[in-house]
Structure 1
Amino acid sequence: LPLQMLWLLVLTLPCLGGSVPVTSDPGPGTELVGIMGGHDAADGKWPWQVGLWFWNQTSSQWILGCGGSLIHRQWVLTAAHCIPGRHPVTRDFKVQLGQLRPSYSDSVQVARIIRHPKYSLENGVFGGADVALLKLEAPVQPSNLVGLISLPPASSAFPPGTRCWVTGWGLIGFQESLLPKNLQEVEVPLVADEICRQHYGNRIKDDMLCAGRRGRDSCYGDSGGPLVCKWRGTWVQVGVVSWGRRCGLRNFPGVYARVTSFLPWIHRHIHSSP
């Protein structure tokens, strides 16, 4: 599978120094939309979903480029490839909480950005470790619209076929005006690692997992958002939207960073800071 055939689920951010390869033409019949095969999410159903806004130097405007999840009152989990450039500046990032429609008006400023140390800017998502933590300027007040997603126990295992959910705004274009667009949700089955490797080859690392089926998938712009499954009656986040070949193709499910691979790193950061 040649690199140029893999279509990353991220907006290229050239003005921010991003260097993520995205094929410019996804091919006929593929719409550049967000969550594929999904529908509008209800208010308060996914209270941990956040939107990650970037300041676009070129157009001098805020752009909603990625999703993320609230895993602690002051910490957001997202994808490392959502944070472009060698030296990202915190003032260029804001986080939207508790809203179904894109809006940065009462968003929270990011105070600290921690990309996973094993994430490589050169290899991008294909090197693995596609996770990042964002510390917010102040702890957020939980409400019926803003809440935390639990992290899975290290021992938890979810069998292939487990039906999980992925959410996101999946914007369609970098310079396009943000049309009011409701958060989308779609149910996706987990795919066995060996099945996923049959199609993607050795690009699937141990710290990745696959989910989705034909017509049901995360897509362009959903990067960094949460893949959640029920664990003993509680929602837990098992994946972070990372990459995929186009969207919703048979045999090419969405690829996610596997949250259990990063638990020690996440806990170290969110519990060690005052």
Structure 2
Amino acid sequence: FPLKMLWLVLLTFPCLGGSTPVTQEPAPGPELVGIIGGCPVSARRFPWQVSLRFYSRKSHRWEHMCGGSHIHPQWVLTAAHCACAFKVQVGQLRLYEEDRLTKVVQIIRHPKYNESLSVLGGGDIALLRLEGAVKLSESVYPVSLPDASLTVSSKKICWVTGWGDIRPLPWPFHLQEVKVKVMRNKDCDHTYRFAFPSKHIHQFIKDDMLCAGSSNYGPCPGDSGGPLVCTWVQVGVVSWDNVCSHCSLPAVYTRVMSVTRGHVTKETPLLQSSLLVPPPGLSLFQPHHPTSSVSTPGSCSRSLLLPLASLPSCP
């Protein structure tokens, strides 16, 4: 393999809230592969897939920046590093076709998430409350969430979906899916420490993380926040990887089982006062500062590439 820079995938371009009407995307050209090693999703196969949008002052439209999953008529699950003030699109196979965007009115990140540590610190998961309940249909339906006691066995086959980038080709317009195999955390951590011995990181893969995928199969930039689903139950949220699964390193997901505990009655007063509460079984995350949980225009990123360093060739 040639020498490459390994980059951890997060989010980079500024994302600012806005109220300008959505502009129509030009008709896409030929179908292109999206998630690396993936194929186009058939209609109604993954009705919980969500596109997170930010308003681009350069293109004057709401552009796709991350994925997410519909877990309730008024709630979306995504990665904490994707969470900023934006809108979402549900029930769409091809990006920008007949957009009907819904505003995000509340953002709740996991309290463990530390922006200074970024995804390496864990807790890369967040909840988004929508302005109103979305009407459910065959193309818009919540994904099932796992019980906290669920264990995902090594080598289990799961699916990850998204509209993410595949370099050097343009982003696909059609939602992509790819089948990936789960890896034991211990083996995944060893793989990353072997690949980057100079980083002196004691533990790459934390207990609230899950690894899946391999070379040529997995998520790319733009897929962050999207769901990892095993037998129609969401077990992971796309968190970070090594740029589209180069070097045979697996992608890393936030382990959903680590946060599905408790009941609605145990949620924060802020959420109990909501007109529509999230489903039982999902433990929402009490924000560090309650006032910061309300979405306001601000910056977040879309392909924040966090360099590990000048790295050796792939092992």
Q: TM-score range by the shorter chain?
A: 0.7 to 0.9
2:152 aligned with 1:162:
no
- CA deviations over 1:119-144 (Å, ceiling 9, x no partner): 11111111110011100111111101
Alignment of 1:68-107 (within 5 A): 68-83=68-83, 88=84, 90=85, 93-103=86-96, 105-107=99-101
Superposed CA RMSD: 2.6
Alignment of 1:69-218 (within 5 A): 69-83=69-83, 88=84, 90=85, 93-103=86-96, 105-171=99-165, 181-201=173-193, 202-218=203-219
Q: 1:106 to 1:193 in 2, by over 3 A?
A: same
Counterpart pick for 1:259 among 234, 250, 256: 256
Give the structure with higher Rg (CA): 2
Counterpart pick for 2:237 among 227, 240, 263: 240
CA shift at 1:61, angstroms? 2.8
Amino acid at match of 1:80: A
Amino acid at match of 2:241: G
Q: How many equivalent residue pairs?
A: 242
Q: 1:52 to 1:15 in 2, by over 3 A?
A: closer
Structure with more relative contact order (C-alpha pairs < 8 Å, separation 6 or more)? 2
- CA deviations over 1:192-239 (Å, ceiling 9, x no partner): 111101112311111100000221111111000000001xxxx11000
CA shift at 1:11, angstroms? 4.0
Amino acid at match of 2:184: A
Distance 2:176 2:248 in 1: 23
Distance 1:63 1:248 in 2: 24
Distance 2:105 2:44 in 1: 26
CA shift at 1:113, angstroms? 1.0
- CA deviations over 1:53-101 (Å, ceiling 9, x no partner): 0112455432100000001110000001112xxxx4x4xx111110101
Distance 1:192 1:38 in 2: 23
Amino acid at match of 2:253: Y
Alignment correspondent of 1:225: 226
Q: Secondary structure at the match of 1:8?
A: strand
CA contact (8 A) 1:164 1:228 kept: yes
CA contact (8 A) 2:164 2:172 kept: no
Q: 1:246 to 1:180 in 2, by over 3 A?
A: closer
Amino acid at match of 1:8: L
Deviates more, 1:4-13 or 1:193-202: 4-13
Q: 1:262 to 1:14 in 2, by over 3 A?
A: same
CA contact (8 A) 1:48 1:146 kept: yes
Distance 2:6 2:145 in 1: 29
Q: 1:6 to 1:263 in 2, by over 3 A?
A: farther
Unaligned stretches of 5+ residues in structure 2 = 17-32, 194-202, 276-315
Amino acid at match of 2:37: G
Unaligned stretches of 5+ residues in structure 1 = 17-32
Amino acid at match of 1:169: W
Alignment correspondent of 2:300: none
CA contact (8 A) 2:227 2:234 kept: yes
**Alignment TM-score, normalising by the size of structure 2:** 0.71
Q: Secondary structure at the match of 1:203?
A: coil
**Alignment TM-score, normalising by the size of structure 1:** 0.81
- CA deviations over 1:224-270 (Å, ceiling 9, x no partner): 0000001xxxx110000000112223541000000011113895369
Alignment correspondent of 2:292: none
Distance 1:147 1:15 in 2: 27
Distance 1:162 1:137 in 2: 37
Distance 1:266 1:125 in 2: 26
Q: Secondary structure at the match of 1:186?
A: strand
